[in-house]
Structure 1
Amino acid sequence: MVKAAIADRDPALNLGQFTERAEAFLGDGFHESVEEVVDDALRLMEKRREGFNAMVRQKIVEAEADPRPAIPIDEAFRLLDEAKARRRA
């Protein structure tokens, strides 16, 4: 039983409902352990977060460079609500 084998190797590693999904990657010959699968998954999540943060930073730079005057937050939300209502109509 594969679940028992993982628990025997490292009882601290408990993936719960994701155990079978992680173990499925072991058959591809690319990963030698569930730990490597988890490490790859975490590395991909870090890259995704870095990409998102870079996009947010770029949007901030663009917003700061926008020559249009700022509008009060209440007005901004009103405009957003109107845009949502138009999309739903």
Structure 2
Amino acid sequence: MRAGRPVTVTLGDLQDRVDARVQSGSYTSVSEVVRAGLRALDREEAALDAVLRQRVQEALDDPRPAIPADQVFAELQAHHAARVTAAKRGA
């Protein structure tokens, strides 16, 4: 008995890659390939979440004083203006 209901998926260019995996014997069915792909995506997303959480925590733990948003935006605008000017000179 199936654990879920049947779903139709259009794989497009990926179909050949899925078929090759089944034909090689690495997987017994297209469904197994798709399930493995979803598990891999879950692992990738979990790893990315862990990295992002770590970086946020590092930022929160940083003892340096915060930089006011106005100052950050002013510096970014100045940096961008300098790059635009340099690009115009080089053109």
Could you state the TM-score of these two structures normalised by the residue count of structure 1?
0.69
- The answer for the alignment partner of 1:18 in structure 2 is 14
Determine helix, strand or coil for the equivalent of 2:27: coil
Of the three residues 49, 53, 58, the one matched with 2:49 is: 53
Determine helix, strand or coil for the equivalent of 1:21: helix
Counterparts in 2 of 1:42 and 1:78: CA distance versus 1, 3 Å:
farther
Question: Aligned pairs, how many?
Answer: 77
Larger Rg: 2
Structure 2: gaps (5+ residues): 1-5
Instruction: Kindly state the Cα deviation for residue 49 of structure 1 after the two structures are TM-superposed.
Output: 0.5
For CA contacts below 8 A with separation 6 or more, give which structure has more relative contact order: 1
How far does the alpha carbon of each residue in 1:51-80 deviate from its partner, in whole angstroms, 9 at most, with x for none? Answer: 000000000110011011111234334545
Could you state the TM-score of these two structures normalised by the residue count of structure 2?
0.67
- Structure 2 CA distance, aligned partners of 1:58 and 1:23? 39
